[in-house]
Amino acid sequence: MFKEKLREKQQLVEKELHRILDIEEKPEIIYEAMRYSVFAGGKRLRPVLCLSSCELLGGDIKKALPVACAIELIHTYSLIHDDLPAMDNDDLRRGKPTNHKVYGEAIAILAGDGLLNLGYEVLVRHALEHPEDYERILKATNEIATASGCKGIIGGQVVDILSQNTELTHEELKFIHEHKTAALIEASVCAGAYIAGATEEDIHALREYARLIGFAFQIKDDILDVIGEEEKLGKKVGSDKEKGKFTFVNIFELEKSQEMVVELTQNAVKILDRFGEKALFLKELSNYLIERVN
Ligand code: GRG
């Protein structure tokens, strides 16, 4: 039942992303490069979180769909840029050659820029087409813009890059994870909630929930980089060590890191108790993330 509901939401997102990116304009190559990475097989976790928090608060998920897709476009831009030679210099992403390996560095940079801008275009268009929801969409956009900026993923990426080959404290590592990973996960949950007309108390609880699962998600990512299977992961295993990246597994070893993922998730799930039965899907999704293999 959970898997079916997950698939349903992923398919909604997939269909809408195809609609958004079905652009037959010149220069064709840029749209091709953008589609290449968006449809390379991502899990769509962030958009599913966005739809689910909207649903949790009794909102109409169709109204959250453009917002969910905008987040996935922005997330995909960050992956393309993260893989560039000037950043992580990766050859594989989502099980396929990275964007710059296929299209060259210049087009990959522009495809990332194109996706970032398209994300905001989708949000602004949604607000213009639905003036009755204008304020809700604006609040969601504010969440997404903040998380995508220097207070979020860019700030996390800067510290991550400057910290290569450096031993970090728990606090320093937490800063990177909270910004690089948890920020956009938090924005996904809060944006969906805003579309449903969340109260500030709802937002406070959901933000705390999302922060915890975002953090757990990154620790799990660190673990998978050590014990994951390359084929399932869709990227190289052991790349953190190779790049001199300090991770939670360095500080806490595997067993303790795994315990932390479980504990953070349990604490996150407890926060959802206040929403009663409606929170079942989000709770199951949170637990599913502990078991993920990619
Ligand atoms: C602003 C250039 C720039 C980068 C921002 C997001 C980011 C920093 C870099 C991406 C690389 C990375 C490992 C980020 C941590 C977050 C994370 C685990 C991303 C992968 O997310 P998944 O597993 O990927 O949801 P899919 O492919 O399923 O969407």
| Chain segment 146-190, per-residue pLDDT in tens | 999 999 999 999 999 999 999 999 999 999 999 999 999 999 999
| Among 37, 153, 222, residue to substitute to test ligand 1 (most atoms within 8 Å of Cβ) | 153
Q: Given this model, what pLDDT does residue 231 score?
A: 85
Task: Compute the distance from residue 256 Cα to the ligand 1 centre, in Å.
Answer: 23
pLDDT-based confidence at residue 236 (cuts at 50, 70, 90): confident
Task: Compute the distance from residue 276 Cα to the ligand 1 centre, in Å.
Answer: 31
pLDDT-based confidence at residue 235 (cuts at 50, 70, 90): confident
Q: Given this model, what pLDDT does residue 177 score?
A: 95
Task: Compute the distance from residue 132 Cα to the ligand 1 centre, in Å.
Answer: 33
Q: Given this model, what pLDDT does residue 294 score?
A: 87
| Chain segment 23-80, per-residue pLDDT in tens | 999 999 999 999 999 999 999 999 999 999 999 999 999 999 999 999 999 999 999 9
Section 262-269 average pLDDT: 98
| Chain segment 278-292, per-residue pLDDT in tens | 999 999 999 999 989
Ligand 1 atom 10: residue of nearest CA: 79
* Spatial separation of the C-alpha atoms in residues 20 and 141, rounded to whole Å: 18
Residue 97: phi and psi, rounded to 5, are -55, 140
Say if residue 273's pLDDT is above 90: yes
Q: Given this model, what pLDDT does residue 94 score?
A: 87
Task: Compute the distance from residue 215 Cα to the ligand 1 centre, in Å.
Answer: 13
Say if residue 132's pLDDT is above 90: yes
- Which residues form the pocket of ligand 1, taking CB atoms under 6 Å from any ligand atom? 42-43, 45, 75, 78-79, 81-82, 94, 153-154, 156-157, 180-181, 218, 221
pLDDT-based confidence at residue 191 (cuts at 50, 70, 90): very high
Taking alpha carbons only, the member of 287, 140, 154 closest to residue 213 is 287
**Which ligand 1 atom lies nearest to the CA of residue 234?**
27
E-strand ranges in the chain read 92-93, 96-97
Q: Given this model, what pLDDT does residue 96 score?
A: 95
Q: Given this model, what pLDDT does residue 137 score?
A: 98
Say if residue 234's pLDDT is above 90: no
Place of tokens 């500030």: 200
| Chain segment 218-228, per-residue pLDDT in tens | 999 999 999 99
Section 180-206 average pLDDT: 98
For residue 294, what are the contacts with CB-CB under 8 A and spacing of at least 6? 43, 224, 228, 232, 233, 234
Task: Compute the distance from residue 131 Cα to the ligand 1 centre, in Å.
Answer: 33
For the chain, how long is the longest CA-to-CA vector? 52
Say if residue 207's pLDDT is above 90: yes
For residues 205 and 271, the answer to whether their CB atoms sit within 8 Å is: yes
Taking alpha carbons only, the member of 116, 111, 120, 122 closest to residue 37 is 111
| Chain segment 74-126, per-residue pLDDT in tens | 999 999 999 999 999 999 998 999 999 999 999 999 999 999 999 999 999 99
